[in-house]
Amino acid sequence: MNKQSLGPKVLTLPTPVLMVGTYDQAGKPNIMTVAWGGICCGQPPCLNVSLRKATYSYNCLMERKAFTVGIVHKSQMRQADYFGMASGREVNKFAATGFTPVKSDLVDAPYAAEFPLVMECKLIQHTDLGLHTIFIGEIMDTKINPDCLDDSGKPDPLKIDPFWFAPEARQYYSTGESLGKAFSVGQPFMAKK
């Protein structure tokens, strides 16, 4: 089948819905929703998020050199969508949603107690790419609600039950069922040369 050209679209799928937590100069906690981001290094463990300069969080991150990234349960989709629309310049998003700010004990940034999973990051570099600036943070700790662990004490993706964002379609989607074990289901091809 011949492919159709769409022009240069930003269209990786699925795209995560990341809750970026920062403090402003006055110490007001803020959360901003970011879809452009993910893991970028295994050791040291690092993640990246991209923000526009115009956002309130951009300056917070530049000043405090720290941020958190929360992963949200699908029942928190409406709050997460709001965190991506409102600006911390004008409102206190924690007050508006009733979410509870918690100060990280490791980095100078807050997260919401209601997020099932949180990574606390120290900013290690940032690069201006154009409309967005990519911020890379070293993950100092990853914290999880105990009810999201499986029987062996490992994070259970289906208990965290995250949702995702589709660029272009501008829709949120749930996650589905387990399909198979990574580094395993492709094993039959290993015998072929």
Contact assessment for residue 99 and residue 18, using Cβ atoms and an 8 Å cutoff: no
Q: Using alpha carbons, select from 184, 166, 67, 84 the residue that is nearest to residue 119.
A: 67
Among positions 110-129, residues that touch its own copies (CB under 8 A) are 113, 117-119, 125, 127, 129
Least separation in angstroms between CB 25 and its own copies: 20
The reply on whether position 26 binds its own copies by CB under 8 A is: no
CA–CA distances in Å: residue 22 to residues 27, 29, 136, 149, 155: 9, 6, 14, 26, 25
Segment interacting with its own copies, rule: CB under 8 A, options 20-28, 56-64, 155-163: 155-163
Residue 131 touches its own copies, criterion: CB under 8 A: yes
Q: Which of 28, 65, 103, 167 binds its own copies (CB under 8 A)?
A: 167
Query: Which of 10, 27 has the CB closer to its own copies?
Result: 10
Q: Is the peptide bond before 116 cis (omega within 30 degrees of 0)?
A: no
- If one asks whether residue 54 binds its own copies (CB under 8 A), the answer comes out as no
* Alpha helix positions (H), 33-145: 56-64, 77-85, 93-97
Q: 61 phi and psi, to 5 degrees?
A: -70, -40
**Taking CB under 8 A as the rule, does residue 24 contact its own copies?**
no
**According to CB under 8 A, which one of 83, 112, 123, 126 is a site residue for its own copies?**
83
The residue with tokens 């997460």 is: 80
Answer yes or no whether residue 82 interacts with its own copies by CB under 8 A.
yes
* 25 or 178: CB nearest its own copies: 178
Q: How far apart are CA 73 and CA 70, in angstroms?
A: 10
Minimum distance between the CB of residue 99 and its own copies, rounded to whole angstroms?
10
By the rule CB under 8 A, 31 interacts with its own copies: no
CB 119 within 8 A of CB 136: no
Among 37, 88, 101, 110, binds its own copies (CB under 8 A): 37
